């Protein structure tokens, strides 16, 4: 039986053409997109019910359960009509999303928009915390992976938003002490412990957060944003160098430039270039 099954599969594959593979791939992609649109919605629950009805209909057909099969087939017709009527708003929203797709920028614009959104959320949070003298330490992981740092904290895996960042660093909350690690536009961990810089010539004005930011940037290519609890000043650290007194607009611009350089330049050249730009002044 197994040999017959393998023989049938081999025979089918022998007639498989490149266009058939493309056809299957397109259908699979469409079904994946449809499932992502209705996932965790009311329509998703109804679709699961329809799939179960299809399975039961097939089983009743195989075992020749005529009455059950007749009832299920008629019920399926009403189920499809009910799906269209009841979930008309969800279907319309899904079609609107499909219509808004810009195919010319499908592979380039999304990454740019994600970077700008990330920079905007971080800059907005930093300025809000600066005005309220809330200390913060935010790390953006780049090419060098810092999993050992992530493991020292509490894993979150949450979307980056200014509101969430502010809430994390509110004093006397469980996650406020330590650093937030951002990887691939996600807050993957909070309350992480960073290594302190061994440099003993730094100004006494710099506290533990600034020394931790410099320490991590000296051992990796991560970009670190610091909000001073004492002065409210916003600092940006990269490659062991720190620049200070950022505004929301200037912080957003420097984050975008650094992250954009990751995809356009060689990492070593990019890092050396930003080392020259970010010279810390006492």
Based on the fold, state whether residues 128 and 67 are members of the same structural domain.
Answer: no
Q: List, for residues 156-201, the tens digit of each pLDDT value.
A: 999 999 999 999 999 999 998 999 999 988 999 999 999 999 887 7
CA angle 197, 198, 203 (to 5 degrees): 75
The verdict on residue 282 lying in a domain is: no
> Which residue range forms the structural domain that includes residue 69?
2-101
Based on the fold, state whether residues 22 and 153 are members of the same structural domain.
Answer: no
pLDDT of residue 150: 92
Based on the fold, state whether residues 41 and 148 are members of the same structural domain.
Answer: no
The verdict on residue 159 lying in a domain is: yes
How many domains are there within the chain?
A: 2
* Domain end call among 84, 101, 118: 101
Q: List, for residues 72-115, the tens digit of each pLDDT value.
A: 888 777 766 776 776 666 666 666 666 655 544 444 455 667 88
pLDDT of residue 266: 46
Highest-scoring range by mean pLDDT, 19-28, 44-53, 138-147: 138-147
pLDDT of residue 234: 95
Instruction: Please enumerate in sequence order all residues whose Cβ is within 8 A of that of 144, keeping only pairs 6 or more positions apart, or say none.
Output: 220, 221, 222
- Structure confidence at residue 42 as a pLDDT band (50, 70, 90): low
Rounded to whole angstroms, the Cα distance separating 78 from 94 reads: 22
Asked whether the predicted pLDDT for residue 48 surpasses 70, the reply is yes
Based on the fold, state whether residues 85 and 115 are members of the same structural domain.
Answer: no
20 or 135: which leads in pLDDT? 135
Residue 52 token pair: 């179960």
Residue 180 token pair: 């937030």
Start-to-end Cα distance in the chain:
80
CATH number for the domain that contains residue 163: 3.40.1700.10
pLDDT of residue 43: 60
Based on the fold, state whether residues 236 and 123 are members of the same structural domain.
Answer: yes
Residue 263 token pair: 């995809």
In this structure, how many other beta carbons lie within 10 angstroms of the beta carbon of residue 95? 11
- Structure confidence at residue 21 as a pLDDT band (50, 70, 90): confident
Mean pLDDT of the chain, nearest integer: 80
pLDDT of residue 224: 96
Region 41-60: mean pLDDT is 75
Rounded to whole angstroms, the Cα distance separating 143 from 270 reads: 11
Based on the fold, state whether residues 67 and 152 are members of the same structural domain.
Answer: no
Q: Where are the beta strands (DSSP E) in the chain?
A: 136-140, 154-159, 179-183, 186-192, 223-227, 234-238, 241-243
Task: Yes or no: say if 141 and 208 are a contact pair by the CB < 8 Å rule.
Answer: no
The verdict on residue 97 lying in a domain is: yes
Percent of the chain with pLDDT over 90: 40
The model's pTM is 0.61
pLDDT of residue 280: 44
Q: DSSP letter string over 48-99?
A: HHHHHHHHHHHHHHHTT-HHHHHHHHHHHHHHHHHHHHHTHHHHHHHHHHHH
Based on the fold, state whether residues 251 and 169 are members of the same structural domain.
Answer: yes
Q: List, for residues 228-267, the tens digit of each pLDDT value.
A: 999 999 999 999 899 999 999 999 999 999 988 765 554 4
């Amino acid at each position: 039986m197994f040999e017959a099954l393998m023989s049938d599969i081999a025979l089918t594959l022998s007639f498989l053409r490149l266009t058939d593979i493309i056809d299957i791939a397109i259908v699979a992609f469409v079904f994946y997109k449809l499932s992502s649109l209705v996932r965790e919605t009311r329509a998703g629950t109804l679709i699961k019910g329809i799939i179960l009805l299809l399975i039961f209909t097939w089983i009743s057909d195989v075992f020749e359960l005529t009455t059950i099969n007749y009832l299920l087939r008629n019920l399926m017709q009403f189920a499809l009509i009910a799906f269209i009527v009841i979930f008309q708003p969800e279907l319309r929203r899904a079609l609107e999303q499909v219509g808004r797709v810009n195919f010319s920028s499908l592979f380039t614009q999304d990454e740019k928009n994600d970077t700008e959104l990330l920079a905007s959320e971080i800059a907005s949070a930093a300025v809000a915390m600066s005005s309220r003298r809330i200390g913060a330490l935010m790390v953006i992981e780049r090419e060098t992976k810092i999993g050992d740092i992530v493991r020292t904290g509490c894993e979150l895996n949450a979307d980056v938003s200014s509101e969430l960042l502010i809430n994390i660093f509110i004093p006397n909350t469980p996650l406020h002490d330590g650093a937030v690690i951002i990887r691939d536009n996600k807050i993957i961990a909070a309350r992480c412990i960073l290594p302190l810089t061994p440099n003993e010539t730094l100004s006494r004005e710099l506290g533990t957060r600034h020394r931790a930011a410099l320490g991590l940037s000296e051992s990796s290519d991560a970009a670190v944003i610091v909000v001073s609890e004492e002065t409210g000043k916003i600092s940006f650290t990269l490659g062991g160098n720190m620049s200070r007194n950022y505004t929301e607009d200037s912080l957003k611009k420097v984050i975008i430039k650094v992250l954009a350089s990751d995809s356009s330049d060689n990492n070593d050249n990019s890092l050396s270039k930003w080392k020259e730009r970010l010279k810390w002044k006492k």
